[in-house]
Amino acid sequence: MLDNFMPTSAEYVRILPETILTLVGVLIMFLEAVITDDEKKSIFAPLSILGLAGALAGAIMAYGDPGPAFQNMLIVDGFATFFRVLVIGVGILAVLSSSGYLRRENSRGGEFYALILFSIVGQSIMASANELIMIFIGIEISSIASYVLAGYLRDDARNNESALKYFLLGSFATAFLLYGVAWIYGTTGSTNLTVIHRALLTGSEPVALAGVAAALIFVGFSFKISAVPFQSWAPDVYQGAPAPVTAFLSTGPKAAAFAVLLRVFMTAFGSISSSWMPLVWGVALATMTVGNFAAILQSNIKRLLAYSSIAHAGYVLVAVTANSGDGSAAAMFYLAAYALTNIGAFAVVAFVSRKGEKFVRLDDFAGLAQRQPGMAAMLTVFMLSLIGVPLTGGFFGKFYIFKAALDAHLVWLTVLGLLNSAVAAYYYLRVLVVMYFKEPGESVENIPPAGAALRIAVYASALGTVLLGIFPSWVLNFATKAAIR
């Protein structure tokens, strides 16, 4: 009997990325205590990159032998692998764009990198979780590390405010999620997604109760993806947190949250989709609209990108509403494109902001094109991708999402969503306007040249954005194969 509970070696391989990341994270915390010389602390960044690269290899290796692990708690399939690779990739870019930033802010602790790694462990578990309790654990691991990251520069008042807000509202949201989990356990007698799916499919359980559970769980996820009406934390947190952390928060945890959202709603609650689809429809539209219209009014670039991030969550929710294999593939592609674009954009923001993030107003980007043409050109690529101009990843993402939505006969949501992206063009264009059409001000004079790591992060993100725009099939084919249907 006990033998059945002993994991096989294949099952250990299936959690290889999490294992590697945890070990490297612990190693970094250990070294942190040992290394006292400030200069030697620069090994933490390369070490965490190495760990992330190992985890990436581990994720790919795990996919070589896909299947469930640990009594169906986890499942390694194409979908999980896609999101594992995505969040680990986001981690690499985040580390690359942070190292110079931390040196600039005289805060070269190893725990920063350890926290990033732990956060990714959580996201990686979320991506492969097949069990509501595992999802909860994954979210908690990811979130607690993120709360600390948001307040990482502890002498900075804005950092503290950001961390506290994020923590309070985040915990609140998790409570909703847990309540929903309890409810569904009471209804179906299980927290396993596959079992819930089967129980709801037979129709023996009251749909109304399951619907309430779905709604509560959706509320919990809505906080994590900053969907309306639970979006209000995002602008404050994104503005207050250090720019590279914001880049990380707006991409990695969000992608992982969407992964669980897609998995839970398309497998466990797939059979009662008619009861949650109208809800998601409304939330998607409200999220796009509120995000875009609020972004128009912003003068701080981090807040602007925060509201833009809310709007983009709305677009992905359109794909969720479609509730189809194509919709799920579109969401996956979109999240990948958005992650590359957004992390690149925030890396440029981190570069321009200078010590203490003095220059984060939109006007501080005036004339950037004349002083730093390379960086301005890259930020242009990111903005065009966020607008959704063809030949960028953002455009194809939008295109696939709205194609899936039209397939699912969501004509009005499509039309309103696309008109929304025309509204969005206005505020993204403002960034181009100040960079290219305004004369340089104090903020862009004498910017010290960008460090090599940041440069790599920015150029790699831009290259990825453009490649996804010209050869989307590379990613889309895998996403289509791996999508939940």
Nearer to other proteins, 30 or 426 (CB): 426
Q: Which is nearer to other proteins, 167 or 402 (CB)?
A: 402
Nearest-angstrom CA–CA distance, 467 and 340: 11
Q: Which of 57, 391, 447, 466 binds other proteins (CB under 8 A)?
A: 391
Site map 14..53 versus other proteins, x via CB under 8 A:
----------------------------------------
**Stretch of 28-36, 149-157, 180-188, 419-427 lying at the interface with other proteins (CB under 8 A):** 419-427
Q: What binding mask, one character per residue, do residues 194-213 give for other proteins by CB under 8 A, x or -?
A: --------------------
Q: Is the dihedral of CA 261, 262, 268, 270 positive or negative?
A: positive
Residue 468 contacts other proteins per CB under 8 A: no
* First-last CA distance in the chain: 35
- Judged by beta carbon, residue 25 or residue 325, the one nearer other proteins is 325
- Judged by CB under 8 A, which stretch of 78-86, 163-171, 252-260, 426-434 contacts other proteins? 426-434
Nearest CA-CA partner of 208 in 193, 177, 186: 186
Cα three-residue angle 13-17-19, rounded to 5 degrees: 80
Shortest distance, CB of residue 85 to other proteins, whole angstroms?
20
> What does the block give as tokens for 208?
């109304």
Taking only Cα atoms into account, the Rg of the chain, rounded to an integer number of angstroms, comes to: 21
How many residues sit in the footprint of other proteins (CB under 8 A)? 33
Beta bridge partners, 68, equal 75
Residue 403 binds other proteins (CB under 8 A)? yes
Residue 131: what are its φ and ψ, rounded to 5°?
A: -160, 130
Peptide bond into 373 cis (omega under 30): no
> Is 368:375 a contact under the CB 8 Å cutoff?
yes
Residues 431-460 that bind other proteins (CB under 8 A): 432-433, 436-437
Q: Binding string to other proteins for residues 54 to 73, with x set by CB under 8 A, is what? A: --------------------
Task: Dump strand ranges (E) for 148-226.
Answer: none
| Rounded distance between C-alpha atoms, residue 328 and residue 336, angstroms | 12
Nearer to other proteins by Cβ, of 252 and 327: the residue is: 327
Q: In Å, what is the CA distance from 9 to each residue of 15, 16, 125? A: 10, 11, 18
> Closest CB to other proteins among 158 and 403?
403
Instruction: Answer for the pair 353, 289: CB distance below 8 angstroms, yes or no.
Output: no
Among 157, 390, 452, 485, binds other proteins (CB under 8 A): 390
80 forms part of the interface with other proteins (CB under 8 A): no
Cβ pair 397, 334 in contact under 8 A: yes
Kindly state the smallest distance separating residue 292's Cβ from other proteins, in Å. Answer: 13
As measured in angstroms, the least distance from the Cβ of 308 to other proteins is 16
Comparing CB distances to other proteins, the nearer of 203 and 390 is 390
Contact 7, 69 (CB under 8 A): yes
Q: Which amino acid is at 81?
A: T
How far apart are CB 217 and other proteins at their closest, in Å? 31
Binding part of the chain for other proteins, among 123-131, 181-189, 194-202, 467-475 by CB under 8 A, reads: 467-475
The DSSP secondary-structure symbol of 143 reads: H
For residue 279, count other CB atoms closer than 10 A to its CB: 14
Q: Are 55 and 17 in contact (CB under 8 A)?
A: yes
Buried b (16+ CB within 10 A) or exposed e, 180-192: bbebbeebbebbb
For residues 45 and 127, is the Cβ–Cβ distance under 8 A? no
Asked if residue 299 binds other proteins (CB under 8 A), the reply is: no
CB of 380 to other proteins, least distance (A): 9
Size (the chain), residues: 485
* Among residues 422, 448, 452, 485, the one that binds other proteins under rule CB under 8 A: 422
Task: Report the residue from 195, 418, 466, 467 that binds other proteins according to the rule CB under 8 A.
Answer: 418
Strand partners, 74: 69, 129
- Given 48, 421, 443, 465, the residue binding other proteins (CB under 8 A): 421
- The correct pick among 195, 406, 463, 467 for binding other proteins (CB under 8 A) is 406
429 scored as a contact of other proteins (CB under 8 A):
yes
The site map against other proteins for 343-372 (x = CB under 8 A) is ---------------------------x--
Binding site for other proteins (CB under 8 A): 370, 384, 387, 389-391, 395, 399, 402-403, 406-407, 411, 414-415, 418-419, 421-422, 425-426, 429-430, 432-433, 436-437, 471-473, 476-477, 480
